[in-house]
Amino acid sequence: MYNFKLSQTEPISSLPRDYTALLQKAKKKGEPIVFLRRNKPVGALLDWTLLKELIELKRKAEEKGVLEKIFQSEKEFKKGKAKVLKSLADLG
């Protein structure tokens, strides 16, 4: 799993003038560059490969959450505790 230090920070004003060099830096270091405005994070720049990996991790986490709800529902059904839902919103 990823354990970012977020040690790469830049002022947001550097993005328009240095975006190519910043993107190369993010790719080389393999971690995002966090942009700050008044010393507060406002955005990040990361390499496409890292973004794809993070999207896949998010998808897997969401899938796992859905599967856990399905397994919980099956247990409740087997115990005779199933609920009739009127809409998908009732799943939450």
Over its C-alpha atoms, the chain yields an Rg (Å, rounded) of 21
Residues 9, 14, 17, 20: what is their CA dihedral angle, to the nearest 10 degrees?
A: 10
Spans of the chain, pLDDT less than 50: 1
pLDDT of residue 37: 92
Number of domains in the chain: 2
Domain that holds residue 33: 9-46
Q: Are residues 21 and 39 in the same domain?
A: yes
- Cβ of 14: how many Cβ atoms within 10 Å? 14
What is the spatial order of strands in the sheet that 33-37 belongs to?
9-11, 33-37, 40-45
Q: Are residues 39 and 54 in the same domain?
A: no
Digit-coded pLDDT (tens) for 45-71 = 998 998 999 999 999 999 998 888 888
| Percent of the chain clearing pLDDT 90 (strictly above) | 23
Q: By the 8 A CB rule, do 38 and 64 touch? A: no
pLDDT of residue 55: 93
